[in-house]
Structure 1
Amino acid sequence: MAAPGGAEAPAAGDALWAEVRGLLPGAEEGLTLALSGEVEDCVLPLLRRARGLLYGAAGRPCGEAAAALRRLGDVLRDYSWEKLNVGPWREVSKAWRQVYAYGCLFGVLAEVAAGRPLLPAVRLCDMGLLMGASVLDNVLARLVRLLQGHLPRAERRAAAEGDAKRARREPAAAPAAQAEEAVPLLRCPSLEHFRDNWLVPQKPVVLEGIIDHWPCMKKWSVDYFCQVAGCRTVPVELGARYTDEEWSQKLMTVSDFISQYIVNENHLGYLAQHQLFDQIPELKEDIGIPDYCCLGEGEEDDITINAWFGPEGTISPLHQDPQQNFLAQVFGRKYIRLYSPQDSENLYPHESQILHNTSQVDVEDPDLVKFPNFRKAAFQSCVLMPGQVLFIPVKYWHYVRSLDISFSVSFWWS
């Protein structure tokens, strides 16, 4: 039962705190505060002070101790945030990302210890998972899963069922593919057959029957995402395509994304990220890695898994990727065109380094005066249906347009 003002009753708060503390080392010296590099001298004393407040109380930190722990979390996050935003992300020190994660962790612990509402604590966990680096055996991932289970049902759903129902609309028409340009369709080929006929010669193919056993094929829907992940904060790409001038990125909850960009037909946005399944393990448990990835040279841990969730009309412009790609369609349909790397000169890639893997041509409405050689480029196409998996060879150009509200999972492998 909730206490006045939204705080939990003491008994419930003590029980939750006991569960939360169970995820942390039992003694202060076990919380090592190890960093993967150098940080400024003022940071470690702040970390140690926060740790002392956490372990100094006989039970859970309350009153002044909880408030002081919260302030230290704020300071650590604010200070490290500046370090995370001074240059290209790849150049950001892992040590500063760990400091940010510790700041999130101490902030979450302060929220729970004080008996405050849990949604802000869940958001802090997500920010640490997105912007920080793993600390204490990825404690933030375990912590957010625990806290999410304690949210009131109404907050967990967050997006109303009516939103999910309004999201179901009539399917859009897809361009008809001529027989000579259709991507071949194959059902459950053997590993040897796939390797010899498609992987080695680097030819696209649509595979059927290889993900029918995934739990997501029966479970996932817009409403399911409202229930499982509605309160979780994720990065969203806003706009029809990433080459548009108005394209941008924003952090928002899954329920807000569904309400504003899945249900609202006047706005286009895409949840596209590779961290989703690490951030929300409940979703990762519902998928698998295609067996054919074992034909690659890398280990399973080297496979990059991406999530693609968006409304009808969202477009990935014609582009190429540096690895082999299996694109698995969970629900909804996608119209896809594929062009061989041999046609690269006819596809007019951008000259800038950032977009050198992306064509300047709008493939469904090409400007043939500006890009006359585009008409010379031969393509294959398909409408990828739920349960189908498209093999896109490395460096193969591909253009994707969602025909419905759509969720896809892609696997990049070498």
Structure 2
Amino acid sequence: MDVVHRLAGLYPDLRVFQTNHAIKVRKLYHDVMRIVADAIAENMNDFNQLAQSQNVNEHLIRIGVLYDLVYGNLHTGEWHAVPVEEREVFTILSYFRILYSLLCARESSESIKNAIYIADIGIMLGAKVFFDCKGMDKDLLTEVASVLSSAKQLENQNEPPLKRIKIDSDDTQDVTCEIPCLHRPTLEYFGSEHYDKSEPALLRGIIDDWPAMQKWHDLEYLVGLAGERTVPVEIGSQYSSDDWSQRLVKFRDFIVTNLTETSKDGPDDQNGVKRAYLAQHELFDQIPELRKDIFVPDYIGRTDVSPRIKAWLGPKGTISPLHTDPSHNLLCQVFGSKTIILASPGDTLNLYPHEHFILNNTSQVDAKHLDFDRFPLAREVRFRQLVLRRGDILYIPPGWWHYVESLEPSFSVSFWFD
């Protein structure tokens, strides 16, 4: 019961029981969660006794029924309208479901694998619930997932090594960079000439000291940290296309299928399975061990000390169509290269944004293959092209249109800030 003991050591003081409105007013929530919480608290010194009792299966059934009920509530209506207290309840239920599943299965290899999946779903759908760890607040499910992943990693040590990452030679050396290219500009210069003026720039010499620049080429390193974790990926040519969809996959399976030498360059593999793209995902909140390999560039601290950090990982040929974002963006290239095409906010009307509210930040114009017969106003647009290479940072001001295409397997990190 070593893993259960470690997870129980994270046992939160459950301030949420006193502060969460849903638990206060919904008797079913309160009664089920109090019963299973008390059973854990009463058996802290001997979980074997709890594991052997008849109550453990009954508690797991109670948790499962309530978990399914809350999961359904999270998927009713629009996501932004889901109350945060309902998501907190889902987080706590995920924690208890993991504990009781491991107790019932006596920490079998399969139960640990399933528990990692439950933790990741809880991280993605739930709200953060903190517990006190030596005077510091830590996120419950993030710590749970780290403990489980460490246990699973020990089992995976004898697995065969992955094929090396497949990165092609760069044949884009003659592509002209059509925006200013700056080597480690001062904060003052960047602020006055680019941030304040909303002018894009290519920055170099900023992230050379990131541990990620050396470590993330090693697929064994990435899989060792996150192989059993579940992540959302995009399937299809690009998110504005009819063939686009999303799927949850194991990080290891995503790596093997899309980034190793066994992967194909085309959009589909030999079985017709479409290539996947881990795009705009908060991977570093989910897996803090990877967060330690990157540092927030100083240029962000001028206006925002808490940027939103997103991961972009995928094979050659992944595309983000011409679109805009409302925040400042530092797009940092860790490995691989990307073609970027930019257009200013002043050209918005000439770029034919989609009319549907979900896609109204996305252009109907294919910036790579311009069709002036369909979109004649695009003739008036000044498009600016560049190639983003390993170690480069692209500053994209708010409202600037940008098209992004990976020229080879690529890992990028975005810092969105205000």
TM-score, normalization by structure 1: 0.88
Pair 212,152 (structure 1): closer, same or farther in 2 beyond 3 Å: closer
Q: How far apart are the structure 1 equivalents of 2:323 and 2:41?
A: 52
Task: Give the aligned partner of residue 51 of structure 1.
Answer: 37
Q: How far apart are the structure 1 equivalents of 2:315 and 2:241?
A: 17
Q: Please state whether the residue corresponding to 1:362 is helix, strand or coil.
A: coil
1:318 is displaced (CA, Å) by 0.2
Task: Give the aligned partner of residue 254 of structure 1.
Answer: 251
Do structure 1's residue 41 and structure 2's residue 27 form an aligned pair?
yes
Pair 345,173 (structure 1): closer, same or farther in 2 beyond 3 Å: farther
Task: Give the aligned partner of residue 161 of structure 1.
Answer: 161
Task: Give the aligned partner of residue 125 of structure 1.
Answer: 119
Query: Any idea what the Cα deviations from partners look like across 1:139-161, whole Å, max 9, x if unmatched?
Result: 11111111211124453797x53
Task: Give the aligned partner of residue 18 of structure 1.
Answer: 5
Query: Any idea what the Cα deviations from partners look like across 1:67-125, whole Å, max 9, x if unmatched?
Result: 22322331221010110001111001111111211121011111333423211111111
1:20 is displaced (CA, Å) by 2.1
1:198 is displaced (CA, Å) by 1.4
1:174 is displaced (CA, Å) by 4.5
The one-letter code of the counterpart of 1:209 is G
Contact 1:157 1:230 in 2 (8 A): no
Instruction: Could you tell me which runs of 5 or more consecutive residues in structure 1 were left unpaired when the two chains were aligned.
Output: 1-12
- When structure 1 is superposed on structure 2, of 325-334 and 224-233 the one drifting more is 224-233
1:197 is displaced (CA, Å) by 1.6
Task: Give the aligned partner of residue 149 of structure 1.
Answer: 150
Q: How far apart are the structure 1 equivalents of 2:225 and 2:411?
A: 15
Summarize the alignment of residues 59-78 of structure 1 with structure 2, pairs less than 5 Å apart.
59-60=46-47, 61-63=50-52, 64-78=54-68
Task: Give the aligned partner of residue 168 of structure 2.
Answer: 170
1:339 is displaced (CA, Å) by 0.5
Do structure 1's residue 187 and structure 2's residue 183 form an aligned pair?
yes
The one-letter code of the counterpart of 1:62 is A
Instruction: Could you tell me which runs of 5 or more consecutive residues in structure 2 were left unpaired when the two chains were aligned.
Output: 132-138, 269-273
Pair 225,334 (structure 1): closer, same or farther in 2 beyond 3 Å: same
Contact 2:202 2:392 in 1 (8 A): yes
Summarize the alignment of residues 333-412 of structure 1 with structure 2, pairs less than 5 Å apart.
333-412=337-416
The one-letter code of the counterpart of 2:83 is S
Contact 1:183 1:380 in 2 (8 A): yes
Query: Any idea what the Cα deviations from partners look like across 1:175-224, whole Å, max 9, x if unmatched?
Result: 9544xx62221111111111122122211111111111111111112332
Pair 59,319 (structure 1): closer, same or farther in 2 beyond 3 Å: same
Q: How far apart are the structure 1 equivalents of 2:331 and 2:389?
A: 11
Pair 112,199 (structure 1): closer, same or farther in 2 beyond 3 Å: same
Pair 212,197 (structure 1): closer, same or farther in 2 beyond 3 Å: same
Pair 66,85 (structure 1): closer, same or farther in 2 beyond 3 Å: same
Q: How far apart are the structure 2 equivalents of 1:146 and 1:23?
A: 10
Contact 1:157 1:226 in 2 (8 A): no
Task: Give the aligned partner of residue 277 of structure 2.
Answer: 270
Q: How far apart are the structure 1 equivalents of 2:191 and 2:32?
A: 55
Query: Any idea what the Cα deviations from partners look like across 1:33-77, whole Å, max 9, x if unmatched?
Result: 345333633211111111122223351121323322322331221
Q: Please state whether the residue corresponding to 1:328 is helix, strand or coil.
A: strand
Q: How far apart are the structure 2 equivalents of 1:403 and 1:257?
A: 18
Pair 249,30 (structure 1): closer, same or farther in 2 beyond 3 Å: closer
Q: How far apart are the structure 1 equivalents of 2:157 and 2:124?
A: 20
TM-score, normalization by structure 2: 0.88
Q: How far apart are the structure 2 equivalents of 1:142 and 1:230?
A: 16
Task: Give the aligned partner of residue 318 of structure 2.
Answer: 314
Q: How far apart are the structure 2 equivalents of 1:144 and 1:69?
A: 22
Pair 412,127 (structure 1): closer, same or farther in 2 beyond 3 Å: same
Task: State how many pairs are aligned.
Answer: 390
- When structure 1 is superposed on structure 2, of 366-375 and 282-291 the one drifting more is 366-375
Pair 243,174 (structure 1): closer, same or farther in 2 beyond 3 Å: farther
- 1:103 equivalent among 88, 93, 104: 93
The alignment-based identity, stated in percent, is: 36
Do structure 1's residue 225 and structure 2's residue 222 form an aligned pair?
yes
Q: How far apart are the structure 2 equivalents of 1:244 and 1:155?
A: 38
Q: Please state whether the residue corresponding to 1:33 is helix, strand or coil.
A: helix
Q: How far apart are the structure 2 equivalents of 1:66 and 1:127?
A: 23
Summarize the alignment of residues 292-303 of structure 1 with structure 2, pairs less than 5 Å apart.
292-296=299-303, 298=304, 300-301=305-306, 303=307
Q: Please state whether the residue corresponding to 1:161 is helix, strand or coil.
A: coil
